[in-house]
């Protein structure tokens, strides 16, 4: 991209998913901060030229180190993505969850470093979440404006959905875009793009995969398992079959695309005595082919989690529940997750990272194609600063 490159700081960095394409739009992330050591090491593996500060931003010494290094590096762009578990609809939505307060530490860093541009991201519920401020409880958006509106222009509408920016995943986020007033730039979200990308378009071309049944005595039920596994691995080593318990697999084999196993009369989530397992209607549920994927969650490797099962293809159907069988009674493979999250298909996952960590960081990450387009919309407003 023409013009000067921005020097960036990433706060609450995860493993740098949001940053995957920032170098393509003129932003070099020079410093990152992450509290969890395994994620920080993952980040270092992906971005070896970045200075990664490992530690809790709430710690005065760590925060001072971040601020000092940012000033020394002349940081002019900050991306901050505080944890959302206290606000997310997939969590407990505790209004007093201490993680809701973490945005205040990001604001402190912003006020000290004074970058030209800031991208602050969280779930849409942050718009209705209150935090402590000078002895009062105020909404997070009001807090952001009180602290930063004197020095920064703040975008009008913060809520965007990644599916309207060619990401094959419906993922709503609240993203505040700030531009320092002396830049004379007002940074807004780009116009939505249509048509949206469906799962059929995104992963429909990939071969069907049988799950690995956890109970060895039940593995005979998939006689083509190895053949399908080899065909999938020929595409990517990350396209290997997920492992599930037979009872989960059985329930999903009789569940059509877009439906939950709770709608079944025979093959529904049940205990050994036949009583229905208590769960949300969004669990034990397949994606739909004709829509983007539902929001990918941190727990995307578990069939009983919120909408995370492959859409499947009809194998046979004689009009009865027993006689209707669908393929791919499994969660998405890691390779399929890369696609629906808009990560590079050759994303350089470290060999030491286990599946649980990989799935967790992807589930918490922001689709990088969305971030790329938002930042590209900023870069289109100037060539030099």
Question: Which are the catalytic amino acids?
Answer: 84
Please check whether residue 213 is in contact with residue 221, taking contact to mean a CB–CB distance below 8 angstroms: yes
Q: Which residues pair with 131 in a beta bridge?
A: 138
Tokens of 57: 């931003």
Token couple for 200? 């059929």
What is the spatial distance between Cα 42 and Cα 35, in angstroms, rounded to a whole number?
12
Q: Is 234 left (phi over 0), alpha (psi -120 to 50) or beta?
A: alpha
Distance CA(140)–CA(120), nearest Å, equals 11
Q: Are 214 and 247 in contact, with CB atoms under 8 Å apart?
A: no
Three-state DSSP state, 132: strand
Q: Provide CB contacts within 8 A for 130, sequence distance 6+.
A: 95, 137, 138, 139, 140
d(CA 26, CA 16): 16
| Residue indicated by tokens 């696609």 | 339
Of all helices (H) and strands (E), which one includes residue 253? helix 246-253
Q: How far is CA 84 from the centre of its chain?
A: 11
Q: Which of 113, 110, 102 is nearest to 149 (CA)?
A: 110
Q: What is the CA radius of gyration of the chain?
A: 22
Six-digit token string for 24: 């393509």
Q: Which one, of 95, 78, 82, lies nearest residue 138 by Cα?
A: 95
């Amino acid at each position: 991209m023409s013009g000067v490159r921005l020097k960036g700081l990433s706060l609450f960095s995860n493993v740098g998913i949001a940053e995957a394409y920032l170098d393509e739009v003129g932003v070099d992330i020079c410093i990152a901060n992450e509290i969890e050591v395994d994620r920080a090491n993952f980040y270092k593996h992906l971005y070896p030229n970045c200075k990664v500060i490992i530690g809790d931003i709430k710690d005065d010494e760590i925060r001072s180190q971040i601020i000092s290094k940012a000033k020394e590096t002349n940081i002019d762009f900050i991306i901050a993505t505080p944890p959302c578990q206290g606000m997310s609809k997939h969590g407990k939505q505790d209004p007093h969850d201490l993680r809701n307060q973490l945005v205040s530490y990001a604001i402190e860093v912003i006020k000290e470093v004074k970058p030209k541009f800031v991208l602050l991201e969280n779930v849409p519920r942050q718009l209705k979440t209150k935090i402590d401020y000078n002895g009062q409880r105020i909404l997070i958006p009001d807090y952001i404006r009180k602290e930063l509106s004197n020095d920064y222009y703040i975008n009008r509408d913060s809520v965007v959905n990644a599916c309207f920016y060619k990401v094959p995943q419906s993922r709503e986020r609240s993203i505040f875009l700030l531009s320092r007033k002396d830049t004379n730039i007002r940074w807004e979200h780009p116009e939505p793009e249509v048509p949206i990308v469906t799962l059929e378009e995104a992963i429909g071309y990939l071969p069907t995969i049988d799950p690995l049944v956890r109970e060895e005595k039940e593995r005979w039920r998939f006689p083509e398992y190895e053949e399908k596994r080899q065909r999938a691995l020929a595409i990517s080593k990350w396209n290997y079959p997920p492992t599930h318990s037979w009872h989960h697999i059985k329930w999903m084999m009789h569940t059509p695309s877009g439906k939950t196993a709770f709608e079944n009369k025979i093959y529904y989530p049940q205990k050994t005595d036949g009583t229905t397992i208590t769960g949300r209607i969004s669990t034990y549920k397949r994606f739909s082919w004709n829509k983007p994927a539902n929001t990918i969650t941190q727990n995307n490797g578990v069939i009983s989690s919120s909408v995370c099962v492959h859409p499947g293809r009809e194998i046979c159907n004689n009009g009865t529940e027993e006689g209707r069988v669908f393929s791919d009674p499994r969660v998405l493979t890691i390779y399929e997750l890369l696609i629906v999250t808009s990560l590079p298909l050759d994303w350089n996952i470290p060999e030491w990272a286990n599946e649980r960590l990989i799935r967790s960081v992807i589930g918490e990450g922001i689709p990088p194609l969305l971030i790329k387009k938002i930042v590209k919309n900023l870069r289109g407003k100037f060539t030099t600063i």
